[in-house]
Structure 1
Amino acid sequence: MLTSFKTLIKKWRASRDSGHQLDALLAIADKSAPYPDRSEWLIELAHWIRRGRAVHPEQPGTASPTPAHTRIRYMLNVLDRNPAWKSNVAGILRALLRESDGLSLLCDAGMPVHSGFFGALFERLEASLIPPAPNRRDLRAIVTLMFSQERDAEWIANLPTDLLTRIRALFDYEQDDSEQRDTTPFSLDLLAALHNLTCQISSTGLSQTVRSRLGEVDVGDAGDVRVAMEKQPFYRLTRAMLAVEAAHQAVSEGAPQEKLLHEVNYLRLLLDECRSATDNVFAHLYRNGVSVDIVFQVERMRMRIVRAEHLLNAWMAQDDPHAGARLTAELVNANHASQSVAHLVRSNFSLLARKVVEYSADTGEHYIARDRAEYLKMLRMAAGGGLVTVVTVCVKFAITGAHLQSMFEGLLAGINYAASFLLMHFLHFSLATKQPAMTAPTLARELDGTGTPAGVDSFVSSVTALMRTQAAAVLGNVMLVFPVCFGVQWVWHALFNANIISPEKAHATLHSFSLLGPTPFYAALTGVLLWSSSLLSGWADNWFVLHRVADALAYNRRLRMTLGAAGTARLAAFCRSNVAGVVGNITLGLMLGLVPAILTAFAFTFEVRHVTLSAGSIGIALGVLGKDALKLPELWWAVAGVGSMAILNVAVSFALAFYMAVKSRDLRRNAVRSLRGAIWQRVFRHPLELVWRPAKAAPHPDRVQ
């Protein structure tokens, strides 16, 4: 029998006419065939339905705009003309529902298993290479093989009422008494799945990981923590589900329906409270550090809450055929998402963005000057940064002049950069182009309010303020580093009758900065390094707060014995306020020194092109070559190249920071597009705001006055 079935399947696949294919497929339907044969037959039928070209309907005016709907209608018409085929098809559908594990589809489809990215990636790659076999008595496996495309959920959800009614009638066609006795109603499968999900939700909500982040437990006047815990929705959820099951049993025995409705409404209320509790957990994480594993657990719990609500709606609306179609579409969509590598990459990048972005908004706020006074303050801070960069440039030329091995030279250059950046940090100076990469947390906070016109205006104001601040930082850096480097070279030559670099090195320096060479490409890659350092800075800040390192330092017994309680508290506060800056500056310096050496050795030639460092280098080169260099085209091409560095360093680091902020909020493309349009509109209307702020600026809502 198995051999004949396989032969018929091969003949059906060989047929090219859609109508003949369907006739051949329906003719071989056998409700008494083994489970694998019936599963394979249903999978082939689903593939026939999902094909793009529609079969012409038999009655004019009955065509559905969706080809799948037209094919289903045609199939039902064919079955109505062939009662024997219809009986076998109906028997196969009922038997598969009866013999397959439905909880795997209702409860587990779409629910992530691995919190780690690589574990989930390997699982999905393995599933794509080794699809489930049709002999598994698992409804989720059958649905996976039947609906393998993302668009399937759309046409299932949009099935018209007449088709849904006829499909339901097909399931009940020629069902005898023995089948009714042996078959468990699908409504009981829904109820069992609800019970399973509520237990999982309750278990996660009562775990120490989530419970400790729900906020302080209000013990009331009695001071009884146990009584206070019983008020938590997760604690009451399982009891409410048991009450629903008891009320359903009572209704089946003749009790009034009002009791069941009351218990269902109470269960829905608890599910809403559980959803609100997850928001409290996220709020706690945003204040006290984000853990990807905790976010994964809470997100999965939220998905289970949504799935429980869908199952409950379908269970209560069993007479509405559209409720079942919506549930089926949701399950198909979730099942496809759980097997998609692209969806995994998007969701994990969103978690990473949230982990890095969420906490350090106050750090990014310091890099945005919103009024004239803060603008002038940023100019002074940038001038100090330019002064420190003069020493950095001179040391850099000393390192390159030693002609060391490239990797060792890169390490020394990285140490030089890191030491300079740390000095700027502790002296409260500023380095140009670094600020845009550090403002992703602030941008993410601003994105929370972009659902209203006032929120969009606030976000656009923050972006223009950021660009204006960056203009001040570039101007302050360059105004100091260029003339001071020129002066240092002149003084060095006057005192020692020698140059910091040779004339040949000066010409090579100007030529390397030319706009006509790879300078724009190198400047864009330098912007990527600036952004990468901000990621590591945000990660370090989040890790420090999440693990409560400040508290561990403040209450460390040995530190208290050495420094005293007050001294230890000051040390903890100092570490807390500087951990992000120290990690960000050290990693940025080492990357600027080592990444070019590594890429040049193993991939392609790359050199750091930072506007401040390059402006200082041009100042020294000009001091070496003298006033005759003003006649050289290479000088002016180098100046143009430095201008491109200023634009690309800022643009690339800002674009990546903006992208990270958007990913941390899961904004839709239309919302992102409208924000971009609002930014460009502000720039065209008020271009001067990018470089200078009017004397009176509206106070920012998040700023402390």
Structure 2
Amino acid sequence: MLRTLFRKWRESRNASLQLDAILTATDPDAPLAERNRWLIELGFWIRRDGMAGVEVDGGEGPGRGTRSFREHVRMRYLVQVLERHPDWAERFGATMRSIVRDNDPTALFCDTGVASHPGFVSEMVHRLQARFLPPPPNRSDMAALFALLFVGQHDAEWVEALDDELLARLARVLRAGMTAAGEADGGAQAMARYWAALGHMLSTSIAVLVSQVRATGLSQSVRSRLRGRVEDTPFYQLDSAIKALCEPGLTHADEAFGHRLNYFRALLDGCHAAALQVYAELEENGVSVEVVFQIERMKVQLARIELLLAAWVEPGRPGMHAHLVAELIRSTQARRSVSDLAGASFAQLARRVVERSAETGEHYITRDRKEYGELMRAAAGGGLITVATVYLKFLIYGLHLDKFIEGLLASLNYAGSFLIIHFAHFTLATKQPAMTGPALAHRLDAVGRPEGLEVFVDDTIAMIRSNAAAIFGNLAVVFPVALAIQWLANKILGANLITPAKAIATIESFSIVGPTPLYAVFTGVLLWLSSLIAGWADNWFALHKVHDVMAYNRRLRYVLGERGAQRLADFWQRNMSGISANVSLGLLLGLGPEILSFVGPHMEVRHVTLSTGSVGTALGVLGLEALRLPSLWLAVAGIALMGVLNVAVSFALAFNMALRSRSLRRVDRAELSAAVRRRILKHPLSLIVPPRMAGAEPVAGSRRA
């Protein structure tokens, strides 16, 4: 029983009645719900045997005659049957006309494909609900009927590809029975009334969309980001322009209509330019997802106005109505997509976050020996601070407190040491890739030109060299210093800072044979997430103008003085991103594994610098005898892989996000990889030794200075 029901449920996706049963059930006097259900059933019959067709030769014009659709074959068969049975054709035409007459098209023209809610969250909830809860067919709403009728993935394609001959035959069928008693012109007056009604619906829908665009453009969130007086903005003038264009008695042939139409289209172009101006302001002063959502919705409304305007002004242009219906189908189907909504709304924020990371990443790419030496010294300082972090970590976990308390104290330990590294202008190697990835992605804009490709290769080599130098600088200090502290403690105090059992367990926990690679990947993700949080915090600071709020705060000025308040505001503006990155990374490394292990799989942090310091401490406890332990060398291999995974995962995630946040054309990745390989094979020492001067990077085919 259940298997039968499940089989029928699966078959119902594409099943339909036979054509004769559908045409027999045609009834123009039936309730609207029954007529709508009849049309939906006809739609399923038309596409029942598949969507896409086969490629054939012949035909002219874009999209016409170059592809054959099975839906076209069924449409021709339907028209042929109706032409042979005038009684069916008369009822068919009357039913179709009644469906068009009784379903309100305003929502279809104005709301289909356009976000209907004022905010991103409410619109996302609405779309999620629409995916699982389709509209009922008993509503007099053409938009709901479209959503139920056109459910095929390729419906818009086959509708737009309908040829003129088939459309003309279908139009004759739909006019069947329209001839009024005593009329010798075959229903010309009725058709004239139909075209007049269609033109009125289009102009009314354009006026509705204009009111919505005007409301968005004059809202505080958009108006405050535009230059000039409000009455000079194109949004303010749209209302009077559309009223003049739709003036009663004004025909399309009038010269005044042409002038007013050109003025109205110029205002639409001005609205597009204003949207770009808002985007430029957002990129400079912080991105708001809600404002981006409103601008994206307005852009869709402007595009819809232009589509309806073309159909209203040029109704007789070949293929115009098929194109209009196809665009409405595409909009109906896109309206169900949550990913499209999120992509359009968050792309701008992602770009802002990436831009901030790229600015920071530029400082981590060394291009000459002077910068290389400064990076090595900064990395050595970072390694020295990390030694204290390692010993504090052993102390915290040696207290055997509650897991959450342990994680919280570990977070404070990590965050504190990272902040010290930040303010001392030192470097922690594994934080670099999440910043250098976006900086490197910027170079892809120009890789289509030879000089742009060379710049990309130069920076790729410099980035690899800089990351390797930072890791070497960290490890070259953290391992011997951690070992020396433990050795001195044993020699002077006669005590070990950790027990031998803990030392052995520490070494074994870093073995390459086990979960260490997985934990290292997890740590790389956390490193990337901290860069996202830093970019978001910097965007929030700029968006809400926190610098100006602090600089002009009355109480801060009273306590610190005017200059003190300004300096405090400048301090936070300079360091908001760095403080956010370091504090968030400390919290993620300390509390992240504890929280994830509570709700999901067990995870631990495997950070290459911290782990190297831990091994150095363990060796100081165990002495030279530890060199005979196989677990030590497995741990060394594990730490080597750990460094590669920490860097590779965080860099890959940051680089991929940078690519997705920018409107970049697709580049030949094989050529980029080949160019980098050629440089490495030609000048392998460039991965280790920087050039003497910036810009002196050796290129393939050139001689070294």
TM-score band w.r.t. shorter chain: 0.7 to 0.9
Mapping 1:177-188, distance limit 5 Å: 177=180, 179=190, 183=194, 185-188=197-200
2:105 maps to 102
Mapping 1:45-444, distance limit 5 Å: 45-53=42-50, 65-114=68-117, 118-177=121-180, 179=190, 183=194, 185-215=197-227, 217=228, 225=229, 229-246=230-247, 249-251=249-251, 256-347=253-344, 349-350=346-347, 353-354=350-351, 356-359=353-356, 361-439=358-436, 442=439
| 1:417-446 deviation per Cα after TM superposition (whole angstroms, max 9, x unaligned) | 110000001011111111222356546655
Following superposition, the deviation at residue 601 of structure 1 comes to 3.6
Matches of 1:545 and 1:318 in 2, distance apart?
49
Structure 1 range deviating more: 623-632 or 280-289: 623-632
Call closer, same or farther: CA 1:692–1:551 in 2, change over 3 Å: same
* Contact 1:357-1:440 within 8 A present in 2 as well: no
SS of the residue 1:339 aligns to: coil
* Contact 1:289-1:359 within 8 A present in 2 as well: no
Call closer, same or farther: CA 1:451–1:172 in 2, change over 3 Å: farther
2:497 maps to 500
Following superposition, the deviation at residue 365 of structure 1 comes to 2.8
| Aligned with 2:562 (options 562, 565, 587) | 565
Matches of 1:338 and 1:622 in 2, distance apart?
62
* Contact 1:406-1:597 within 8 A present in 2 as well: yes
* Contact 1:382-1:474 within 8 A present in 2 as well: yes
SS of the residue 1:649 aligns to: helix
RMSD of the alignment, in Å? 3.1
Unmatched 5+ residue regions in structure 1?
Answer: 1-9, 218-224, 701-705
Structure 1 range deviating more: 402-411 or 340-349: 340-349
Structure 1 range deviating more: 548-557 or 153-162: 153-162
* Contact 1:153-1:333 within 8 A present in 2 as well: yes
Call closer, same or farther: CA 1:359–1:296 in 2, change over 3 Å: farther
Matches of 1:55 and 1:522 in 2, distance apart?
46
Call closer, same or farther: CA 1:538–1:63 in 2, change over 3 Å: closer
SS of the residue 1:132 aligns to: coil
AA aligned opposite 1:285: L
Following superposition, the deviation at residue 239 of structure 1 comes to 2.4
Matches of 1:614 and 1:115 in 2, distance apart?
50
Matches of 1:676 and 1:499 in 2, distance apart?
53
AA aligned opposite 1:474: I
| Aligned with 1:648 (options 634, 645, 650) | 645
AA aligned opposite 2:231: E
| Aligned with 1:621 (options 603, 606, 618) | 618
SS of the residue 2:68 aligns to: coil
| Aligned with 1:685 (options 650, 654, 678) | 678
| 1:579-599 deviation per Cα after TM superposition (whole angstroms, max 9, x unaligned) | 111121111112111122223
Call closer, same or farther: CA 1:187–1:599 in 2, change over 3 Å: same
Following superposition, the deviation at residue 691 of structure 1 comes to 4.6
AA aligned opposite 1:642: I
* Contact 1:124-1:339 within 8 A present in 2 as well: yes
* Contact 1:54-1:71 within 8 A present in 2 as well: no
Following superposition, the deviation at residue 468 of structure 1 comes to 3.1
| 1:331-377 deviation per Cα after TM superposition (whole angstroms, max 9, x unaligned) | 11111111234434544553652464355542333233344433332
Matches of 1:643 and 1:63 in 2, distance apart?
57
* Contact 2:380-2:476 within 8 A present in 1 as well: yes
AA aligned opposite 2:211: C
* Contact 1:102-1:140 within 8 A present in 2 as well: yes
2:185 maps to none
Structure 1 range deviating more: 201-210 or 410-419: 201-210
1:703 maps to none
* Contact 1:360-1:541 within 8 A present in 2 as well: no
1:221 maps to none
Matches of 2:487 and 2:593 in 1, distance apart?
30
Call closer, same or farther: CA 1:114–1:489 in 2, change over 3 Å: farther
Call closer, same or farther: CA 1:464–1:63 in 2, change over 3 Å: closer
Following superposition, the deviation at residue 241 of structure 1 comes to 1.9
Matches of 1:55 and 1:341 in 2, distance apart?
25
Following superposition, the deviation at residue 387 of structure 1 comes to 1.0
| 1:590-611 deviation per Cα after TM superposition (whole angstroms, max 9, x unaligned) | 2111122223344332211001
Following superposition, the deviation at residue 64 of structure 1 comes to 6.1
Following superposition, the deviation at residue 662 of structure 1 comes to 3.1
Following superposition, the deviation at residue 636 of structure 1 comes to 1.7
2:3 maps to none
Matches of 1:543 and 1:357 in 2, distance apart?
14
Matches of 2:168 and 2:86 in 1, distance apart?
18
Following superposition, the deviation at residue 115 of structure 1 comes to 5.7
AA aligned opposite 1:301: M
Mapping 1:420-569, distance limit 5 Å: 420-439=417-436, 442=439, 462-569=459-566
Matches of 2:294 and 2:404 in 1, distance apart?
43
The aligned length equals: 666
AA aligned opposite 1:165: A
Call closer, same or farther: CA 1:63–1:485 in 2, change over 3 Å: closer
SS of the residue 1:368 aligns to: coil
Following superposition, the deviation at residue 180 of structure 1 comes to 5.1
AA aligned opposite 2:152: Q
Structure 1 range deviating more: 182-191 or 94-103: 182-191
Following superposition, the deviation at residue 157 of structure 1 comes to 2.3
SS of the residue 1:665 aligns to: coil
* Contact 1:489-1:624 within 8 A present in 2 as well: yes
AA aligned opposite 1:475: F
* Contact 2:89-2:174 within 8 A present in 1 as well: no
Call closer, same or farther: CA 1:652–1:383 in 2, change over 3 Å: same
| 1:452-480 deviation per Cα after TM superposition (whole angstroms, max 9, x unaligned) | 77666655655554333222221211111
Call closer, same or farther: CA 1:370–1:147 in 2, change over 3 Å: farther
Structure 1 range deviating more: 205-214 or 544-553: 205-214
* Contact 2:15-2:48 within 8 A present in 1 as well: no
Matches of 1:436 and 1:115 in 2, distance apart?
38
Matches of 1:78 and 1:626 in 2, distance apart?
94
* Contact 1:432-1:611 within 8 A present in 2 as well: no
Call closer, same or farther: CA 1:431–1:312 in 2, change over 3 Å: same
* Contact 1:290-1:358 within 8 A present in 2 as well: no
Unmatched 5+ residue regions in structure 2?
Answer: 1-7, 59-64, 181-188, 698-705
Call closer, same or farther: CA 1:257–1:438 in 2, change over 3 Å: same
Following superposition, the deviation at residue 283 of structure 1 comes to 0.7
* Contact 2:217-2:235 within 8 A present in 1 as well: yes
SS of the residue 1:319 aligns to: coil
